[in-house]
Amino acid sequence: MSQQPSILVVDDEMGILDVLRILLKGEGFDVSTAQGGKAGLEALKGNPPDIVLTDIKMPGAIQAVNQGAFYYIQKPFSNDDLVAICRRAAEQRLLKAENKQLKQEIRRRERSGLVKPLGKARAFQDVLKLAEQVAPTESTVLIQGESGTGKEVIARYIHELSARADGGFFSLNCGALPESLLESELFGHVKGSFTGAVRDKQGLFAAARGGTFFLDEIGEMSPATQVKLLRVLQEREAIPVGGTEAIPVDVRVVAATNRDLEEDIKRGRFRTDLYYRLNVIAIHLPPLRERRDDIQILWEEFLSRIAKERDEQPKALAEEAKGALLAYDWPGNVRELENALERAVVLSKSTTIDLAALPDKLTERRAEPLVAERPHVNPTLDVIERAYITWVLQSEGGNKTRAAEVLGIDPSTLYRKLTRYEGDVPG
C-alpha cells in the first residue's frame, strides 16, 4: 500500500460522490469515484484501491457484505465517523500487507532449504525438473500416473515453489464423493438449494482464493460437474448450487488422474474441451517399477519417518527382506511400499525386519523362469504355457483381467487354466 491510502467511492448519486471526494481528499486519501455498481466493478479491474467505500443499495454491491466487508455504516452518518472508519480500514490494510510480506520472507527462507521429493531415477528427476519449471507460472497442470505414485506430493511441491505458496493448498478427491455433494464442496451452495442446505456454504474454489486447488482423480467427475468446472476455468468464476450470482475465482488448479483421459474422451466419459483446459502442462509420473533405483532411497526415508512417529530408533532390514523389496513389482507403487514397511515395523519384535514380517505377496513362491542355467529337456507345451501365463500375470501385478487382455484370451479361460494349475501360478 502507498503512503497515501487509496480509496474508491461508489454511489449512484453524483452529489454524494462529489462531497465524499472533497472530504476524504482533504483528510489525506487518494480518492477516485465511480457512479453505480457496474462502473465500480470496472474501476476495480485496473488498479485495485486499498479501500472501497460503497452504497450497498445497488445491483451487485450486496455481494461485498456477504463476502465480509470491513464495516457497515448507516446513512446518515457524521463526517468524523466516516473518516475514522476509513482510517481504521487503512491501518488494518497496512497491517495485513506488512504481515503478508513478513510471511513471504519467512517462506522464502524456509524454501531455501526445501527438501525435494525423493528419487534419483532419471525418469523421476525429469518430473521434478518440469515441476520446478512450471511452478512459478499460473498454468493449469495435469499430473498423470498410477495410483500410489505420489501425485499429490508433486502437486504440493509445485505449490511450495509457486508465487501462491503463502496461500493455502486445498485438496479434494473427486472420486470420493457423490455428484451432488461434490458440486457443493467445489462451488458451495445457498440456503434452501436442496434438502439439508440449512445455511449458505462456501465452496472450496472460494475458500482457496490466492492458493492452489488440487483436484485428485479428476477422471471420476461426472459429465454435469465437468461442465461447471469448465466454466470455472474459462470464466474464472463459480456459481454456488442454487445460486444466481457468480463468485470470482482466484486459484491455481492442479489436477491428477490415474485414468487414460484420451481413451475416456473416445468413450464419451470425459469432455474434450475440459481435457485441453486441464492439460496445459502435462506431467507423467512413472510407476515405482520403472524407477527401481529409488526403492532403497524410499525405504530408508519411510523407516526413518515411521520411527520418528513411534519415538523409537529406525529398524534395519535383513538382506533377504531387502532382496524381496527390490524384486517386487509394486503395483500399488510408493504408497504400497510405505504401507508394507509400516506393517513390517509393527510386526517386527526385534530391531531388524526379516522376511517373515513382510506381506505374503512379497515372499510367495515365484514361478520358474522360462530360461535357466539348466533348462528342461524338451519342455512340454503345458510347461511353456504355464510359465508364460505366470510371467504375464506377474508383469501385470497379479491383475487377472489385464493379464487376460495381454494373453488374448477371455478372463473365464484364464481362470479355468489357473484352477487347473491348482494355484501353481500366483494370483
CATH number for the domain that contains residue 64: 3.40.50.2300
pLDDT digits (tens, 9 = 90+) for 137-192: 999 999 999 999 999 999 999 999 999 998 899 999 999 888 888 998 999 888 88
**What are the backbone dihedrals phi and psi of residue 171, each rounded to the nearest 5 degrees, phi first?**
-135, 140
How many CA atoms lie less than 13 Å away from 329 in the CB half-sphere? 11
* Final residue belonging to a domain, choices 253, 286, 319: 286
Task: Give the CATH number for residue 200.
Answer: 3.40.50.300
Residue 106's pLDDT is: 58
Taking Cα atoms as reference points, which of 73, 80, 94 lies closest to residue 6?
94
Q: Are residues 198 and 257 in the same domain?
A: yes
Residue range(s) defining the domain that contains residue 240 = 122-286
Residue 63's pLDDT is: 54
Q: Are residues 358 and 386 in the same domain?
A: no
Q: Are residues 49 and 153 in the same domain?
A: no
**What are the backbone dihedrals phi and psi of residue 348, each rounded to the nearest 5 degrees, phi first?**
-80, 125
Q: Are residues 134 and 174 in the same domain?
A: yes
Banded pLDDT at 3 (limits 50, 70, 90): low
Statement: residue 301 has pLDDT above 80: yes
Residue 426's pLDDT is: 43
- Percent of all residues in the chain with a pLDDT value above 90, rounded to a whole number: 47
Residue 115 forms part of a structural domain:
no
pLDDT digits (tens, 9 = 90+) for 61-73: 755 555 557 777 7
* Final residue belonging to a domain, choices 70, 103, 136: 103
- Percent of all residues in the chain with a pLDDT value above 70, rounded to a whole number: 86
Banded pLDDT at 204 (limits 50, 70, 90): very high
The SS3 of residue 61 is: coil
Q: Are residues 279 and 198 in the same domain?
A: yes
Domain count, the chain: 4
* Final residue belonging to a domain, choices 240, 265, 286: 286
Statement: residue 2 has pLDDT above 80: no
CA distance 31 to 62: 22
Q: Which residues contact 100 (CB under 8 A, 6 or more apart)?
A: 166
Banded pLDDT at 367 (limits 50, 70, 90): very low
Q: Are residues 302 and 406 in the same domain?
A: no
CA distance 395 to 104: 48
Residue 280 forms part of a structural domain:
yes
pLDDT digits (tens, 9 = 90+) for 89-144: 888 888 877 777 666 655 655 554 566 899 999 999 999 999 999 999 999 999 99
- Cα 18–Cα 21–Cα 24 angle in degrees, nearest 5: 145
Residue 368's pLDDT is: 47
Q: Are residues 179 and 273 in the same domain?
A: yes
Taking Cα atoms as reference points, which of 306, 296, 336 lies closest to residue 118?
296
The DSSP element (H or E) to which 211 belongs, if any, is none
Residue 182's pLDDT is: 92
Please state, rounded to an integer, the average pLDDT across all residues of the chain: 85
Residue 114 forms part of a structural domain:
no
Residue 111 forms part of a structural domain:
no
